[in-house]
Amino acid sequence: MTTSPGLARKLGTTDAVVIGLGSMIGAGIFASFAPAAAAAGAGLLIGLAIAAIVAYCNATASAQLAAQYPTSGGTYIYGRERLGEWAGFMAGWSFVIGKTASCAAMALTFAAYAAPAGWGKPIAVVAVLALAAVNYFGVTRTATLTRFIVVIVLAVLALVVAVGLTSGDPAGHDLSQGLFADGPYGILQSSGLLFFAFAGYARIATMGEEVKNPQRTIPRAITTALFITLVVYAVIAVTVLLVVGPETLATSAAPLVDVVTAANAGWASPIVRVGAALAALGALLALVAGVGRTTLAMARNRDLPGWLAAVHPRHKVPHHAEITLAIIVSALILTVDLRGAIGFSSFGVLLYYFIANVSAFTQTKPQRRYPKVLQVLGAAGCLLLVATLPITAIVAGIIVVAVGIGYRLIRLRTQ
């Protein structure tokens, strides 16, 4: 029996934490605060903490499952193995629809920071088509590019905080009076929307064969990376709320640009715009690749039309799936706004992790790494946040989920 050198255990806790940060700290932070502020005002700070707790529970469930099923496919595979084919289908379908909406959100985020006024949607569509073309030739986001983007994003965020808190007028906005102004429902809705900004945290959970002493390293890395990300997000959220205020933030198309503008530091605006645009393009490129490959896996199992399982003979990419994705994302961009895309994305991804938590709950003692209470809390948190998302996101999500169920029922009856 031979061992693939690609699975050598070379990564320590610090390496795993860096990879986790690279998966979480990206374009989401440039986009999610405005819709969260529209839902809860300053209460988004509480929503941020709730989103982090749910994200931690979900990540531990994924880590436990990945240790038992070290294969690609994520919860699509876990659901099939632990709960049956229908659960796997629901997880895969929820992932595909959620991440498709994420593609639209990242393209709209790119356009919000990079496009001239009035050109947002056309530029967003061009970005999607351009990156789909790049991905068609097998060029996906590399680990080196990921680290580069993380460094750029952290530098931009540090600049925003430094400029905002030293040159702005934070005394003009008293946040303590507005934390609970929109009530529990608004706070929970902001949490569901902010969940979008934590996307990618489960990357650590899939590293069981790559890290040293995974039983100890993975739990530590998950906790550390999530804590660092939460601190970074909290500092940015407080800065934005103090400098521009909840009301302005709620209607902002580019919140971090508004911070440096309010701080009379116009020179920093182009830097923030470039950083946000790079982060959004990097996230979009990775999303196109990820959704395409999950679609490929589902099509091979006939959970999606078999036409989508085609792999390009030369470039070795699921070109039919990625072309279809580019068309659907372009249509979404033209019909929804950023808040709608984020809400719909959260709907799909929260359902995906609900199935992950239920799957992990069924694991027996030899496979358990975390107490069952975390899976109970994670599953309940996912359902609660889904139920409090904007009603348009819920209705659209239910319709699209029903379409997926209908397709599979027809396929099962006609096979």
Q: What is the DSSP string of 309-337?
A: G---TTT-S-HHHHHHHHHHHHHHHHH--
Domains in the chain: boundaries: 11-414
Residue with more model confidence, 239 or 72 = 239
Instruction: Please give the average per-residue pLDDT across 68-87, as a whole number.
Output: 88
Q: Which of 89-98, 143-152, 319-328 is the least confident region?
A: 143-152
Q: Across-strand partners of 11?
A: 211
Note the pLDDT of residue 331. 96
Average pLDDT of the chain is 87
**Residue that has been written with the tokens 């982060």 in this structure:** 279
- Give the pLDDT score at 206: 63
Out of 43-52, 209-218, 366-375, 396-405, pick the least confident. 209-218
Tell me, what's the pLDDT at 291?
Answer: 86
Q: What is the mean pLDDT of residues 32-53?
A: 94
Mean pLDDT over 337-360 rounds to: 95
Q: Is 140 helix (H, G, I), strand (E, B) or coil?
A: coil
Residue 211 has pLDDT above 80, yes or no: no
User: Can you give the pLDDT at residue 6?
Assistant: 43
**Which H/E stretch holds residue 82?**
helix 75-82
Q: What's the longest Cα–Cα distance across the chain?
A: 67
> Does residue 106 carry a pLDDT above 50?
yes
Contact 245, 45 (CB under 8 A): no
CA distance 100 to 110: 16
- Least confident range from 96-105, 190-199, 307-316: namely 307-316
What pLDDT shows up at residue 3? Answer: 42
Give the dihedral of Cα atoms 358, 361, 362, 364; nearest 10 deg. Answer: 160
244-258: average pLDDT: 91
Please compute the mean of the pLDDT values over residues 170-176 and round it to a whole number: 59
pLDDT class of 79 with cuts at 50, 70, 90: very high
Centre a 10 Å sphere on the Cβ of residue 371 and count the other Cβ atoms it contains: 10
pLDDT for residue 227 is more than 80? yes
Contact by Cβ (8 Å): 339, 35: yes
Q: Is the pLDDT of residue 303 over 80?
A: yes
Look at residues 203, 180, 244, 234 and name the one whose alpha carbon lies nearest to residue 29: 234
pLDDT band at 213 (very low <50, low <70, confident <90, very high): confident
Mean per-residue pLDDT, 111-135: 91
Q: Note the helical H segments in 336-390.
A: 338-361, 372-387
Torsion of CA 264, 270, 275, 278, to 10 degrees: 160
Tell me the mean pLDDT in the region 353-371.
94
Q: Which of 99-103, 143-147, 172-176, 289-293 has the lowest mean pLDDT?
A: 172-176
pLDDT confidence of residue 294: 83
The whole-number average pLDDT for the span 52-56 is: 94
Distance between CA 215 and CA 369 in Å, rounded? Answer: 8
Q: 407 falls in which pLDDT band (50, 70, 90)?
A: very high
CATH of domain 11-414: 1.20.1740.10
Q: How far apart are CA 20 and CA 222, in angstroms?
A: 7
* pLDDT score, position 330: 96
Is residue 313 very low, low, confident or very high in pLDDT (cuts 50, 70, 90)? confident
The whole-number pLDDT of residue 2 equals 41
More confident residue, 8 or 380: 380
Torsion angles phi and psi, residue 102, rounded to 5: -60, -40
Query: For the whole model, what pTM was predicted?
Result: 0.89
Q: Is the pLDDT of residue 225 over 90?
A: no
- Between these two residues, 222 and 349, which has the higher pLDDT value? 349
